[in-house]
Amino acid sequence: MSGFVDALRAAATPVIMELKRRGAHGEDLFAGRSAGEIVDLYEGLGAPCLSVVTGSWFGGDDALLREVAELTGRPILMKDFVTSERQIAAAKASGAAAVLLTAQLLPGSLPARLAATCRHHGLTPFVEVTQAAQLARLGDARGCVAAVNNKDIRRGERGAPQIERSLALLPEILESGADCAVSASGIGSPAVAAQLLDCGFDALLVGTALLAADDPRGWLDLLQRSRNRLQVA
């Protein structure tokens, strides 16, 4: 397994914590904070991995990835619309440990080819799906993180999350041979997060909820308490 996956599996709270400048509706999620302040916050919260959104539609850029990579030793996921080997090589050079591949937007066998390119460069393919057929197009999922996007990237991730999508696709992900199963986007409450982990997801990706929380530590503490209650029930 990769260092990215190993870090998630070893974490007491397996949450990939995201740096994203703007939300789906244009809201300022950094709220005057520097990237360094957010990295310090997340490291203090015990983040096993970080996610950096470099896509311009969320206010990101490649400079943000390079800045975060200089600030932390945590494995970093680069999130953007990746379609070429050039982008994958650039992500590696900028300090990423994993690269988002959005299967919903990639035609034919391109997800499989890009996943192979990621592995060639020593990066973990973080393959995001919304349907079982997209996962099937990946072919061999070994060495990949398989993530369910609970929102619709074609709509800029606006609208209500479809948490039931993660629950419905989990069996196919577990059977695919992927190294890690992740539920991503729209996880707004600690109770929902705890439910997803209790159902069998290895990890979660949480962005807006933590960035916008008045008390991020309290959010994660409530997640852990909710998990404990579910395990006792």
Q: pTM of the prediction?
A: 0.95
Determine the pLDDT at residue 1: 60
User: Torsion-angle region of residue 196: left (phi > 0), alpha (psi -120 to 50) or beta?
Assistant: alpha
Q: What is the DSSP string of 114-152?
A: HHHHHHHTT-EEEEEESSHHHHHTT---TT-EEEEESS-
Determine the pLDDT at residue 2: 76
Determine the pLDDT at residue 153: 64
Taking only the tens place, the pLDDT of each residue in 154-199 is 554 555 678 999 999 999 999 999 999 999 989 999 999 999 999 9
Q: Please answer whether residues 55 and 79 qualify as being in contact, where contact means their C-beta atoms are separated by less than 8 angstroms.
A: yes
Taking only the tens place, the pLDDT of each residue in 134-155 is 999 988 899 999 999 998 765 5
Determine the pLDDT at residue 10: 95
Q: Please answer whether residues 102 and 118 qualify as being in contact, where contact means their C-beta atoms are separated by less than 8 angstroms.
A: no
Instruction: Tell me the domains of the chain and their CATH numbers.
Output: 3-232 (3.20.20.70)
Q: What is the mean pLDDT of the chain?
A: 93
Residue 34 has phi, psi (to 5 degrees) of -85, 165
